[in-house]
Amino acid sequence: MKTIDQFLADLYRQDVRLWLDRGVSPIRLRCSAPDEVLTPALNTELQQRKPEIIAFLEQVSQAAKPTPPAILPAPRNHHLPLSFAQQRLWFLEQLQPDTATYTIPIAVRLTGHLEVTRLEQAFNQIVARHEILRTNFRLLDGEPIQVIAPDRALALPLIDLQSLDADQQEAHIQPLAIVATQTPFDLANDALLRLSLLRLNATNHVILLTFHHIITDGWSMDILLRELVTLYRSLTGTPTLDPIDPQPSALSPQPSALSPQPSLLDLPIQYADFAIWQRQWLQGEVLETQLIYWRQQLNDLPVLQLPTDFPRRRVQRFRGGVETFSLSSELSDRLQTLSQSTGTTLFMTLLAAYKVLLYRYTGQTDVMVGTPIANRNRAEIEGLIGFFVNTLVLRTDLSGHPSFHQVLQRVRQTTWDAYDHQDLPFEKLVEALHPDRDLSYNPLFQVKFRLENPPPETFTLPGLTLTTLNRANPTAKLDLSLDLYETPTGLVGGFEYNADLFAPETIQRMVGHFCTLLEGIVAHPDRPIAMLPLLTAAEHQQIHAWNQTQTPYDQTGCFHQLFEAQVDRTPDAIALIYQDQHLTYAELNCRANQLAHYLQSLGTQPDTLIGLCIDRSPEMIIGLLAILKAGAAYLPLDPAYPSDRLRYMLEDSQAPILITPFPLPHLSPSSPPTHSTSTLTGTGLLITATKTPPVPSLLPTLPI
C-alpha cells in the first residue's frame, strides 16, 4: 500500500483536492474531483483511509505555524484566572445582572424503565469528573477568579405530572422549561447546572437541564450526554462498549456516586488548566501576530442596518424568537454539488448566500457575519466540558456588481484566512479594536451564521431510550442568526431573531426569500447577485394582483362627482384618516365645498390653474377636491422642492391662485406685491390670489 504522502501526491496530480471543513463540528473531510477520476473504487479507498488523511492534513496545518506548548495540569495553590471568553461573559453579567440571557437549556425524554437514583448518581459522577461543573466566579482584589468546590452533590428534584392527561402534561412541559431557562444564576454562589425530572408515567420521563454558558458550550453538551449514557450503564451493571472510550471494560455493578468511573478515560487536564495556559501562551509575539491580521481585516467596521419592524431599543432585552424551515434533499444536494465544483465547502456556499440575502435587504456591500468555531484543536481539551467556543468575524466586499460565483470566491479566501488566525479569542479582538460601544447592538457584527452536523438525537440503553427534545430558548443575543444542520434528508435550520426588532411574519417572509435565493443560486451561479430571484411565487402573485388596476367604473362623471355620489350613499362613514384626525365623507365634502365656493368668488374659471403647495395631509385632499369642484385644474407643488424650482414653476404656469397651509417666505417677491392673501375659516388654508392679470414674478407663496 502507498504511504499517505504518496497517495495524496497521486491524487493531486489527478486534480483531486482534499481539505478539512472547519466550519462544521466535528471537522469534516471534503473532496473535489473530476467525475471520471472519482470512481467507486477511489471513493471506497478514501473512506477507508479517511482517519489517516485527516491526521495528515491536521499535521500539515499545525506544521505551518508555530506549535503552542502543551497544556499541563497547573497547581491549585494560587488564584485561578478566567479564560478570555469567561471573562467577557462575566463582565456582561455584571453589566446586566439578574438576567438569564446566557443560559443553555437541554431537554431529554427518557422512555422505558428509569432508575432515578442511578440517573442522579451518574450526574454527580460527571460533576465530580469535571471541575468546571463545581466552579463559581467571584471577585478578588478587583479581578474575577475561578473558585472550584472540592465536591458538589446535585439533587434531582422530581415533579410528578402523572395525574394529568397527555395533553395537559405536554402543556406543562414547555412552561416549566421556560421558567428553568429564564431563572438567573448567581455566578458567585449557585451551582451553575440545574436539573429537574418530570414524571409523566412509569415509563415516560423528561429531564430538564439548564447551564450557565460560562461553564459550557454546544460541544460540551454532547460530551455530557455521552458520558451520562456511559455512566448510567455502568451504574446499572450493563457491560457495553463505551461511546467515549471504545474499549470494553469490566464494570462495577453499583459504584458509589463519587467513585472512579472505570468506563471513562481519565481527563489529562481540567478547564482551569486551559484558562491558565491560554493566558500564558497568548501574549507577546503570538498575540501580536494574530492582531496584525485582524486589525487590518476589521478596520472601520460599518453597522449592518437591517430594515426592522420596530425601532431599536436603547438597551437590548434579548427577547428572541425562532422560525424553522427545511430544504429539500434535491436542493441540498445541488448546493453540495455547487460547492464541490467551485472548490469550496458547503459552509462557504451557504455563508455566501446568507451574505447576498443581507446585501439585498440592506443595500450594503460591506457585510460582516460572525460564526462560531469549536476551538477544540488540541487533543487535551477534546473531552472537556467547558466554554471553549470562539467567534470569527468574516467580512466580505460585495461591491462591483459581482456574480454569485465571484462572491463565493471572495468568501472562500476570507474564510481560509480567518481559520489561519482563529486562535485569537473574540474577547481580545474586541479589546484591541475598541469599537464604539452601544448597548443596543453587539460589537463588530450584528448577525451570525452557523452550519453543523446535529448531535445524535437518540441514545439507546437496555430498557431505556434517551431522546433530545428541541427547546426554543426565548432569547436572542444578536439581531439575526441563521443556524443550519446537515441531515440525511437535507438541510434543516432556523432564523433566530430579536423579537424587539422583528415581527414573526417578517422572518417568515425572510425564510421564503432565502429559499428562493438558494434556488436561484444553484440554477444561475454566474448571474449578478443583484439579479438573483428573491420573491416567492405567492409574492409574485400578490404583486400581479396589486397591479390589476383595470377596474370598471362609471366613466360618465368626474372624480369630484363620483366622490359626491359616495357622500350621498355613506355620509357618516370615515373617508379620511390622518394620524389622530378622522373626517367622514360629509365633513370632508363640506370643507371642500366651502373652499370651492371661495375659489369661485375669486373668479375661478374652467381654464384657471391653481397652485397647490401642501405636504401629505387632510388639507391636501380638501384643496384638491375644492379645486376640482370649482371647475379649475390644480398644479401640484412639493414644498420640499428647492425654492428656485418652485418660483420657476409659478412663473412658468402663470397660476393666479396659490393654496398653501403656511407662509412660504422664501417664495415672496422682492418687488411690491399685487396680490391679496386670506385665510379661509374652518380649513386652515391660506389663499393667495392676484388682483390683476397674473404677474408670476410678483406672486408670493403664502400659507393656507
Question: What percentage of the chain exceeds 90 in pLDDT?
Answer: 53
User: Mean pLDDT in the chain?
Assistant: 85
> Can you give the pLDDT at residue 153?
92
Grid cell at residue 111: 422512555
Give 660 or 137, the one with higher predicted confidence.
137
pLDDT at 156 over 70: yes
Query: What type of residue sits at position 173?
Result: I
Question: Cα–Cα distance between 543 and 647 in angstroms, integer?
Answer: 39
- Name the strand (E) or helix (H) holding 234: helix 218-235
pLDDT tens profile 680-698: 665 667 777 764 333 333 3
Between 212 and 34, name the one with better pLDDT.
212
> Among residues 545, 462, 543, 510, which one has the least CA distance to residue 234?
462
Q: What is the mean pLDDT of residues 250-270?
A: 58
Residue 303 reports pLDDT greater than 50:
yes
The residue ranges of DSSP E strands in 33-157, in sequence order, are 103-112, 135-140, 143-148
If one compares 436 and 219, the residue with the highest pLDDT of the two is: 219
Banded model confidence at residue 192, pLDDT cuts 50, 70, 90 = very high
Query: Which pLDDT score, from 0 to 100, does residue 258 have?
Result: 42
- Could you tell me if 144 and 138 are in contact, meaning their C-beta atoms sit under 8 angstroms apart? yes
> Do 588 and 673 touch, CB atoms closer than 8 A?
no
Q: What are phi and psi of 7, to 5 degrees?
A: -60, -45
Least-confidence region, from 63-67, 299-303, 409-413, 581-585 = 63-67
DSSP letter at 603? T
d(CA 131, CA 448): 31
DSSP code, position 102: T
pLDDT digits (tens, 9 = 90+) for 308-358: 999 988 888 888 899 999 999 999 999 999 998 988 889 999 999 999 999
Whether residue 372 is preceded by a cis peptide bond, meaning omega within 30 degrees of 0, is no
What angle (nearest 5°) sits at the alpha carbon of residue 209, between those of residues 204 and 210? 155
The pLDDT, as a whole number, for residue 259 is 44
Average pLDDT of the segment spanning 456-477: 80
CB 266 within 8 A of CB 134: no
- The whole-number pLDDT of residue 252 equals 31
Least confident among 77-81, 314-318, 364-368: 314-318
Compute the 3-state secondary structure of the chain and give helix, strand, coil in percent, each to the nearest 5: 40, 20, 40
* Whether the predicted pLDDT of 24 surpasses 70: no
